[in-house]
Chain A
Amino acid sequence: MAIAAESLMAAPERGISELRRQRQRAAMRFLLPMIVALLVVAAWPLMRTIYFSFTNTTLSNLDGGEWVGLGNYLNWRTLSSGRVIYRGVLADPQWWNAVWNTVCFTVISVSLETVFGVVVALVLNAEFRGRALVRAAVLIPWAIPTIVSAKMWGWMLNDQFGIINDMALSLGLISQKIAWTANPDTAMAAVIMVDVWKTTPFVALLTLAALQTVPREVYEATRIDGINPIKVFFRVTLPLIRPAILVAVIFRTLDALRMFDLVYVLTPNSAATRTMSTLARENLIDFDKFGYGSAQSTLLFLIIAIFVVAYLKLGRLDLSGEARR
């Protein structure tokens, strides 16, 4: 897109060689299929969802919805007693509970994943025998489909015959079996734990790639100067791998904000772990409130969009590559 915009702006300029114009036209031609694909698979469904959120569409009759304006988001009625009752997603305590759950989940899980991911990457970056094997092994949790790992952890965390309870009991860590996924106090912790287990390798992988681009000479220089390794990490390594970590964090956060599969499979559909996505799905499909569910999906999209913009601004993260030129 950036190149397309640039070519439009550049066109009136004088003295541009025919060759350059030709190259720009060629670039447009190569970009066109991708732009069309994005319009079809991303923009169109998104627009449809936003449109549905302003209607009272049901899943049984997708074309029969009537325009209700912002009614799905917020509407109010004045009762005969004069009291005003607010309804709609923005006045729905279930929605705010889901937002809170999702945000908690995102903040805690992404923080833990980042810390563990960097630690794992530092270990894997060190020279030791069998490093290639360990590197491959670390990636296994990331390679397992989420549904499979959620089901697997579901059995491992099972209160009666789960191996986690069995091990913790024999080690004397707990005095009685804990229903990890059923108990509202531990359900969210269980989800976070499984997510950290699953996605730490992703952060580790990105960080490791960045670590390998750090020139050895820098470390040799610090060693000659006799600088404490902890200081080296915070003053030298971390600033150099910061862009990679920021990218890993934004990927993880986007994933975590739309968390669905793990929660859906691992825990009962209760207020303790319900996220924005599982709530939207429930309204869209189970309750046949397609318009209402679309409003929730649209809000989820807005939240993610706002987050991305804020993150890019605050992190001064440059995804367009402008600065490199």
Chain B
Amino acid sequence: MKKILAAAVVNALMCSTALAVEVTYASGITGDGVRVFQELVKPWEEETGNKAVLVPMPSSTTDQFGQYRLWLAAGNKDIDLYQTDVIWAPQLADHFVDLSEVATDIAEQNFPSIIESQTVDGKLVALPLFTDAPALFYRKDLLEKHGEDVPETWEELTETAKRIQDAERAEGNKELWGYVWQANAYEGLTCNALELIKSYGGGQIVEPDGSISVNNEKAAAALNLAATWPGNISPEGVLAYKEEEARGVWQTGKAVFMRNWPYAYHLGNGEDSEVAGKFSVAPLPSGEKGGSSAATLGGWNVAVSKYSERQEAAISLATYLAGPEAQKRRALLASNLPTLEALYDDAEIAEQQPIIPQWKEVFMQAVPRPSAPTKSAYNEVSSKFWNAVHNTLSGKATAEENLEILELDLEEMKGSGW
């Protein structure tokens, strides 16, 4: 009798799990990303009875891309949804489902430029989840204490950081650094250096028409200034820093300035942060006084794998995550910038995450990486670029020399066209 009962219970359990679909979602994790994801999908899980399982990936976008490309090339059926970087669409388009028809209404509410970045030959490869544009984080308390203003140019940043760093160290705050950013040899360095070069008026590596513009005096001047930072206002280890290492130094109160993405805002105000309430954000400095500043356009999207065997549920999760309800939740939970224009006027967001409406200006002027003109060669272009920059920053040859070789390499790669 007991046996029969046990069998019945097992049967019942199996039936109930068979009805609900479990979809897997691969995404890089920074900060408290796992918790945010679980909070985000809860309403969807309750409504549909399905379950969303997070497959956490390393936070480096380069590492994620390598793994995803392998999985997709092998036609992996285990992953249903991928969270994709804004630059990946042209390279991975073949492996994803076209979402233009199922998400027409969501697409209309988005900023057109973001939808455009995810459209390849008329196919909507991924739905935007949030956009990203970095800013300059600064310590209000330290700037006030030393009577300094928020720097408007990179030169000013260098000087201000140095002055505060020296003064604080003289007072015994020995471990304080002026400026932390991301200079490891990876995609993030491309973003950092592109901002510098663009704000100096040195172009954007490869222009939208496909011409290679990176070898010019202004770009060299920008990089030569940055090369003075490691060991001076930035720790030498900045050459191995990605976002999280920079945030580690910043959040333990050991930096005056930091260049980072909006996610660091909400984590910096967390309970375990030593800088909670002591900092604010401003647009990144510009090349010259009164010039315009540049922020690299980042942002993450959700794509549905065409190898998925649970496509219906996966598409339902994708449209939910890209929709207004989830984007608002994400903005409130993780200070991620929505891609839906209407949310910038949302009273609740303005109250709880005041930086989001402020950030609209920053990202409206954001500069895209040259992923569209260089197409499938983008990764190699970016790698060549970050290597040239990394060589300059670590003191192996000057910016002029490195950019000249970079130009030659890029010309060669381009051949008769990208």
Contacts and interface: CB of A to CB of B under 8 A. Distances in A.
A135 interface: no
Given A60-B94, A285-B66, A287-B383, A183 B254 contact: no
Interface residues of A, number: 27
Nearest to B255: A160
Contacts, number: 87
B289 interface: no
A59 B380 contact: no
Interface residues of B, number: 34
Contacts of B254: 160
B330 to A, nearest CB: 29
Interface in B159-211: 175, 184-186
A188 interface: no
Given A282-B383, A288-B376, A268 B184 contact: yes
B323 interface: no
B66 A179 contact: no
A50 interface: no
B239 interface: yes
A179 B73 contact: no
A187 to B, nearest CB: 8
Contacts of A60: 69, 73, 94-95
Given A160-B235, A161-B252, A270-B387, A183 B69 contact: no
B379 A288 contact: yes
Nearest to B236: A179
B66 A271 contact: no
A288 B69 contact: yes
Given A286-B62, A286-B383, A270 B390 contact: yes
Contact of A184 (B95, B184, B252, B396): B396
B240 A267 contact: yes
A59 B236 CA distance: 37
A285 B383 CA distance: 13
A213 B285 CA distance: 70
Contacts of A182: 184, 236-241
Interface in B237-264: 237-241, 245, 248-249, 252, 254
Contacts of A289: 380
A177 interface: yes
A46 interface: no
Interface string A266-281: 0111111000000001
A270 B239 CA distance: 10
A272 B394 CA distance: 10
B66 A183 contact: no
Interface in A180-194: 181-184
B5 interface: no
A291 to B, nearest CB: 14
B70 interface: yes
Interface in B363-381: 376, 379-380
A100 B264 CA distance: 40
21 contacts: A59-B70, A59-B73, A60-B95, A62-B73, A158-B237, A159-B235, A160-B175, A161-B248, A179-B235, A179-B236, A179-B238, A182-B236, A269-B185, A270-B387, A271-B396, A285-B70, A286-B379, A286-B383, A287-B379, A287-B380, A288-B91
Interface of B: 62, 65-66, 69-70, 73, 91, 94-95, 175, 184-186, 235-241, 245, 248-249, 252, 254, 376, 379-380, 383, 387, 390-391, 394, 396
Question: Nearest 10 pairs between A and B by C-beta?
Answer: A159-B237, A182-B240, A179-B237, A182-B239, A179-B236, A268-B185, A287-B380, A268-B184, A270-B185, A269-B185
Given A60-B95, A182-B184, A182-B236, 19 more contacts: A59-B70, A158-B245, A159-B237, A181-B240, A183-B236, A268-B185, A268-B186, A268-B239, A268-B390, A269-B186, A270-B185, A270-B394, A271-B387, A271-B391, A271-B396, A285-B69, A287-B383, A288-B69, A289-B380
